[in-house]
Structure 1
Amino acid sequence: MSGSAAIAHDPATRTWLLTTRATCYALRVAEHGVPLHVHWGGPLSLAQAVELPPSGVGPRSSFEGFGIGEELTVDGGNRYGPPALRVRFADGTRALTWQAAGHEQPDPATLLLHFTDSHYPLRTTLGYRVHAGTDVIERWTALTHTGTADEIVLVRADSATLSLPPRDDYRLSHAVGLWAAETQLKRDPLPFGETVLTSRTGTTSHQAQPWVILDAGDADGGWADETHGQVWSAALAWSGSWQLTLHHTPDNRLSLNAGAGHDAVTVALRPGETHTTPSLLTLHTPDGGFGGLSRAWHAHLRTAVLPHPEETRPVLYNSWEATGFSVTLENQSRLAAHAAALGVELFVMDDGWFGGRRDDHAGLGDWTPHPGAFPDGLRPLADEVHRLGMAFGLWVEPEMVNPDSELYRARPDWVLHFPHRDRTELRHQLVLNFARPDVAEWAHGWLTRLVAENDVDYLKWDMNRPFSEAGWPDEPSGRSDRLWFDHVRSYHSVLDRLRADHPRLRIEACSGGGGRVDPAVLARTDQVWISDNTDAADRLVIQHGYTQIYPARTMAAWVTDVPNQQTGRSIPLRFRFHSAMSGVLGLGGDLTRWQPAELKEAEQLIAEYKAVRHVIQHGELFRLRPPGDLQALSAVQYVTPDASESVVLAWLPQPRFGLPPAPLRLSGLPPESRYRDLRTGALHHARNLTERGLDLALPPTDWASTLVHLVRVQDPS
């Protein structure tokens, strides 16, 4: 099977075959016009795909219906499962019918299948795209009102329906969480019926993530683990509210609908308008288990999504935990000098630098430097940071406003609100309606001026509360629900415009930590602040869940002071560094209070990270032992694409007396190679490292950790 992506067609059977590097996806347009799923799995030829029947089966009795096995499940006929597309026409009709209306291939990697309704003026286009070098297949749907009168209401418009092959049982992996406890991985048997995962917050949310991982069991076993087994997965490229609905029937058929918006949010189409859903990225790995799936996701996101995948992210310092809102030119300059002396490369001033901002009650929306803290503006601090050899960054929160601000007093109509309802404040702030063109233009205007006038290299874009009272009373077309979609599109657009205005600008995504993370965010930013929780032990669990889909190259992690602000736990500096080193290293403590010994150790550890970060940020990730039990070893390994180097990070918070951990078995190393441990100088055969394992020689103390850097010294003979 060729590694290139391709799309093939058999006109006689109306079968389409999408071929990726290691998998195939087949579908068929039935004679009556319904697009049916055929195959999503290992490689097939077109002739083999033609021979296969559609994956769905008809009803076994008059009490059951169709629906499983369609490429986009619709409301209509005897379909009783959850519809991915539910439409209400002007006369009240809800059922939709399919009529094939041709296809297009605008380029060799893209397929568009067109359908019309048999009576009403609605055209549906199913989009498919394959990506050379990866196994990701991209899906989306476009819906066009082709008539001349009356609205068509899209009650539900998902991006796609996915059908999995029939198996005896299924298991669902997904991420749940809370603020400061994001991406907690859950892996449980999938119950029969409908399982709905959703966010109604206007963002992806802290409570859930817009992705799922599925594996299947049968009479012969078949359950996946970290290294073996078939796995299917999907991730929605959408930064707002979303819904994933899994439909598991008692006869063990499984479908997944995925799309933007949540229940009760509709789209009203007027004549000539088109609604295009966000892309659903889908990925199947025939073997390799959850680890192989993650590495496949990471490879695709690095090569096809991230804006600057070739770059290596700098070591960052952020001022928040040191000074809070009480920022001044003097204290930021002192912190910058300490950070530069440690080897930090990017200095970011956090909240408190603007307007009347001295706490979280006031000032959001007034994006001019605080006159008392910065009487000559921000340029003196930017110049000092640059003089010290670091890039200069700022925290911003463009989508928010405090009621106690000049902006809100001037434009109270700019926030999300309903008539005759209170405006709920969270963190003493309200949400600006980015769906309004004037609000988006205002935000882009001050942001681009801020960057240009102060030579800003980096922005940390935060969003510290979800939507509430999500109304737009003066929406000019009378369709205020569009704000759920247009706010997100406008957020994306402002980011895109900023990057176009300032090609050197780099951006960090944040929403009170990991409240807004998805492939669409990663396409526009350079790294993500995945949690406000910087406790080194908690972070191992959060980072474990994050890297199921997203690469370490995007995962910002800080070393902060102890006792930790969130947990009150005190963990040694070395362990804190090793925890943060498994992503993009940053510092966030008050360096002016660190003891000389701590500063010296930090300088050494930053140098160690710089020596291996090319492996961590650009290598393949192997999760050797998951975190969880504080008395158990956890470890990750990174291997460069050519396997010339490998880095191991391992943590043992509370060793068991008399029971040292067994040697750590490594992965991803060519078996006939040899590697030198730069820590000890020892030389190891790769086969011994993968079969017997590496002795970590951890000290028998609490909060033990280590970093091992292995370099290949001999290629296979």
Structure 2
Amino acid sequence: MPATRPTEIIWRAPRITLSFAAPTDGPVSVLSLRPADSPAPAPVLAPGHGEQPLVELTAFGHGRFPGSFRHVDTIIGRTLRYVSHQESARAGWHELRILQEDPALGVRTSSVFEAHESATAVRTWTEVTVDSDLTLDAVSSFATGSFLADAGVASVDRLLLAHADNDWIAESRWRVEPLRTAGLADVGRAAHHHQAPRTRISLGNRGSWSSGEKVPTAAIAADDSGYSLAWQIEHNGPWLSEIGENGHGAYLLLTGPTDQEHQWSVRLRDGETFVSAPASVAVALGSAEDALRALTQQRRAIRHRRPADNALPVIFNDYMNTLMGDPTTEKLLPLIDAAADAGAEYFCIDAGWYADGHWWDGVGAWEPSLRRFPGGIAEATAYIRTRGMVPGLWLEPEVIGVRSPLATTLPDDAFFSRGGVRIREHGRHLLDLRHPATRAHLDGVIDRLVEEYGVGFIKMDENTMTGPGTDLGGLAPGQGLLEHARALLDWLDGVQARHPALLIENCASGAMRMDYAMLSRLHLQSTSDQQDPVAYASIAAAAPAAILPEQAGNWAYPQAGMSDEARTFALVNGVLGRMYLSGYLNRMSALERTSVREAVTAHRTVLTDIRERQPIWPLGLPGWSDEWLALGLQRQDDAYVSVWRRSGADSATLSLPWALGRDIAVEAFFPTEVGTWSWSWDRSAGALHVTTTTDEPSARVLRVRVE
């Protein structure tokens, strides 16, 4: 603590520096957020530019001025004043806490920043304490107007937004576009006495699908690629990113649930505290892709990695384009043999193992079907182990089918409800993880699967979205959902503490819950349910923009009878990431099986140092309909690069600026046969020209090394 009151706070962590204004007559605001030791840009802005309050919050009776749909210009946010700040360090983490208060209203806020020594990023959230009686209905986790000054530009006309739409079988559809195109209208401020416009760009999700419509990761970048800022909101429920213009220039606000968008509010009394959803913010002196890449190290820093997570097994799953939820002992045994012969280390029996027939609205007990497994499912799981693999099972723990006996035996308040009526969605009721009966039921299920059947892997799915939440106990539905979401994380922590060797995959109709509240804990993320390998290519190429490559579970589902190019294409999808192998390998010819084994071997080579590699996109962030796609995993002067040609021109030019002006060696990594592909290197331009002469969709993985 300084002896005198500061007017500016400068916080220097090993990889990042933040500066804040702390005026006597206004709230704290972020002035700059830059990589450590980077020079400040030349001033292009008027004094005071960018002074967006760090904390914005609204409460019943305390809204905004002027009124709008935006979550800035809040009355309480303006009346907060600096009180103190504290810095501390522990085990590689550096922490800053900035305390503000509005003594007249009895509100105190603590803005918390954590920076790990390995990442050019901070993790941040807001803690609000109320001495009297106040119902909060929106609390920012972070807000800044600093990025214009940090980018050295005077107008949002010079800024780009990188963001991704998300949906079932259409995940990670990235776009990079000017802020003006994305939704910030130029309203002609001079004609309106330079008043701030009220338009905003609003990115967000509702309910329990944190990535049901938008990926909770995005970036802002200067159009000259001189500065960029990326963020991710780390909440397994609803969230909001908001970008707009204000009287000083522009702002970015990150928050969890709000009343306006998500029916969230919470009443605080007598010293109670609310903690907002955390978010991570990363910066780079480069493009939006550079800032997104900076988030990679942040994700590694915030993971709760256990010894079991250090193993990165190749997993075979019987579902995709294979058994499709219809497993039996008879069907599984030849697949188990084929998966083991291909080099898989885990074998997951997917949906259907618990039901004799139609199962969608009858799930909940998770007892094996004797019709499917006459000798018991233990016969199949034991056989998996005799073939040197670890058995896994698909599970959807958070639902009870409306036809399940548990729908009547569990207490009513163990389920989500609204107005005293139990929620029924898509033939399911939704379990509330706050209730002890729910926890006891799910703990019993997991313990039984692990202890009786030797299960070492759970594919944890969630196919039913909760809606706004539950109002049980008189809470706002959004607060009920928030408490449930945090209870779910607590339950997962308990499961992993009891079963430290158990690996859990995060799945929700593919990637509908692709957030780092879940992924900080879980081993693997399903990137899609997409069944077309050609469509899957853009999903696989884009996944590391939002998740770690070592957590990106990309399906590779080759089939007997595919052409060589089609089979290779399907396998390339899984090589850079975490290969999630499927397909009727048992029906393949010897040549086809050899190709699969070659892909698994290549993938295992990638896994040896995948946690030390950063994603690169030599053709830019992948677009959903792009004809050519490329993803690389780079470590210093060495990169694996997957290249997909889906249609169109027979050649493309990959940008490799890290090899500019140097000689490189390029080799066919998978498959090792070049086939119809060729390439040439332009060292003066840092450009790798690749060509394929086949008319089919075609893909290759190359290895590129500076000589």
TM-score, scaled to structure 1: 0.83
Report the Cα distance in structure 2 between the residues aligned to 1:95 and 1:41, rounded to whole angstroms: 24
1:601 and 1:584 map into 2 onto residues whose CA distance is 18
- Tell me how far 1:98 sits from its aligned partner: 1.9
In 2: Cα distance, 1:535 partner to 1:98 partner: 53
The residue correspondences of 1:115-194 to structure 2 (distance < 5 A) are 115-147=100-132, 151-163=133-145, 164-166=147-149, 167-168=154-155, 169=157, 170-190=159-179, 191-192=184-185, 193-194=199-200
* Distance of aligned partners of 1:9 and 1:519 in 2 relative to their CA distance in 1, 3 Å threshold: farther
One-letter amino acid of the structure 2 residue matched with residue 572 of structure 1: A
1:73 matched to 2:66? no
Q: 1:650 to 1:83 in 2, by over 3 A?
A: closer
Deviations 1:502-524 (A, max 9, x none): 22111110110110011222210
1:527 to 524, 529, 536: 524
Give the direction of change, closer, same or farther, for the CA distance of 1:275–1:686 in structure 2 (3 Å limit). farther
Report the Cα offset of residue 242 of structure 1: 1.0
Within 2, Cα distance between the matches of 1:501 and 1:54?
Answer: 57
Amino acid at match of 1:495: L
1:609 is paired with a residue of what secondary structure?
helix
Question: Which residue identity does 2:642 align to in structure 1?
Answer: L
For 1:68-107, list aligned pairs within 5 A: 69-75=52-58, 79-80=65-66, 82-83=70-71, 97-107=79-89
State the Cα deviation string for residues 656-710 of structure 1 (Å, max 9, x = none): 4xxx42564535449667647366899x999866746556563433122222235
User: Does residue 290 of the first structure (1) align with residue 288 of the second (2)?
Assistant: yes
Distance 1:133 1:610, change over 3 A: closer
Structure 2 match to 1:334: 334
Aligned residue identity for 1:653: R
1:298 Cα offset (Å): 1.2
The change in CA–CA distance for 1:690 and 1:467 in structure 2 (over 3 A counts) is farther
How far 1:538 sits from its partner (Å)? Answer: 1.7
Query: Whole-Å Cα distance in 2 between the matches of residues 41 and 127 of structure 1?
Result: 17
Structure 2 residue 539 is the aligned partner of structure 1 residue 539: no
Residue type at the aligned position of 2:393: L
Tell me the CA shift for residue 561 of structure 1: 5.6
Q: 1:689 and 1:551 mapped to 2: Cα distance?
A: 30
Secondary structure in 2 matching 1:158: strand
For residues 706 and 361 of structure 1, do their structure 2 counterparts lie closer, same or farther at Cα, with a shift above 3 Å needed?
Answer: closer
Spell out the pairing of 1:157-556 with structure 2 (5 A cutoff): 157-163=139-145, 164-166=147-149, 167-168=154-155, 169=157, 170-190=159-179, 191-192=184-185, 193-216=199-222, 223-224=223-224, 228-249=225-246, 252-261=249-258, 262-287=261-286, 289-305=287-303, 307=305, 311=310, 313-321=312-320, 322-354=322-354, 356=355, 358-374=357-373, 377-411=376-410, 413=412, 414-419=414-419, 423-426=423-426, 428-468=427-467, 470-473=469-472, 475=473, 481-556=478-553
Contact 2:538–2:629 at 8 Å: present in 1 too?
Answer: no
After TM superposition, the structure 1 stretch with the greater mean CA deviation from structure 2, 96-105 or 456-465, is 96-105
Matched, 1:666 2:649: no
Deviation at 1:458, TM superposition (A): 1.1
Q: Is the 8 A contact 1:259 1:277 kept in 2?
A: yes
Structure 2 residue matching 1:297: 3-state secondary structure: helix
Cα distance 1:9–1:296, how it changes in 2: closer, same or farther (>3 A)? farther
CA–CA separation in structure 1 for the residues paired with 2:206 and 2:262: 8
Does the 8 Å contact 2:241/2:252 carry over to 1?
no
Matched to 1:118, the amino acid is: P
How much does 1:543 deviate? 3.1
- Partner amino acid, structure 2, of 1:647: Y
Shift, 1:69, TM fit: 1.6
Contact 1:86 1:156 in 2 (8 A): no
5 Å-filtered alignment, 1:515-664, equals 515-560=512-557, 572-614=566-608, 616=610, 618-626=612-620, 627-628=622-623, 632-641=627-636, 643=637, 645-654=638-647, 656=649, 660-661=650-651, 664=654
Where 2:310 maps in the other structure, the secondary structure is: coil
Task: Specify the code of the residue in structure 2 equivalent to 1:114.
Answer: L
- Comparing 263-272 with 390-399, greater Cα deviation is found at 263-272
C-alpha distance 615-695 of structure 1, shift in aligned 2 (>3 A): farther
Q: What SS does the corresponding residue of 2:166 show, helix, strand or coil?
A: strand
Structure 1: which amino acid aligns with 2:84? G
Distance of aligned partners of 1:386 and 1:430 in 2 relative to their CA distance in 1, 3 Å threshold: same
Q: 3-state DSSP class of the match of 1:651?
A: strand
Residue equivalent to 1:15 = 8
1:25 aligns with 2:18: yes
Tell me which moved more, 609-618 or 504-513: 609-618
Q: Distance in 1 between matches of 2:440 and 2:349?
A: 25
Residue aligning to 1:60: none
1:274-302 deviation line (CA, Å, top 9, x unaligned): 21112111111122x13322321112212
Provide structure 1 residue ranges, at least 5 long, that are not aligned to the other structure: 1-7, 58-66, 88-93, 217-222
Which fold has the larger relative contact order, with Cα–Cα distance below 8 Å and residues 6 or more apart in sequence?
2
Question: Partners of 1:516 and 1:663 in 2: how far apart?
Answer: 34
Residues 615 and 638 in structure 1, CA contact (< 8 A), matched pair in contact too: no
SS of 1:352's equivalent? coil
Distance 1:272 1:543, change over 3 A: same
After superposition, the Cα gap between the structure-2 partners of 1:670 and 1:185, relative to the gap in structure 1 and judged at 3 Å, is closer
Deviations 1:424-451 (A, max 9, x none): 432x222212233432343233213322
Q: Which amino acid aligns with 2:55?
A: L
Bigger shift: 462-471 or 386-395? 462-471
SS in 2 for 1:435: coil
Report which stretch shifted further, 338-347 or 182-191.
182-191
Residues 677 and 269 of structure 1: is their aligned pair in 2 closer, same or farther, counting only changes over 3 Å? same
Unaligned 5+ segments in structure 2 are: 186-198
Query: How far 1:156 sits from its partner (Å)?
Result: 0.8
Write the deviation string for residues 612-645 of structure 1: whole angstroms up to 9, x where unpaired: 343555422221124559784332222235x3x4
Confirm or deny that 1:702 pairs with 2:696: yes
Q: Is the 8 A contact 2:97 2:112 kept in 1?
A: yes
Normalising by the residue count of structure 2, what TM-score does the alignment of the two structures yield?
0.84
Question: Distance in 1 between the 2:596 and 2:370 partners?
Answer: 34
% identical equivalent positions = 20
Aligned length: 663
Give distance in 2, aligned partners of 1:55 and 1:378: 70
For 1:124, the aligned partner's letter is: T
Partner-residue secondary structure (3-state), 1:159: strand
Separation in 2, partners of 1:603, 1:563: 14
Question: In the alignment, what sits opposite 1:38?
Answer: 31
Q: 8 Å contact 2:95–2:113 — kept in the other structure?
A: yes
Relative to structure 2, which stretch is displaced further, 630-639 or 402-411?
630-639
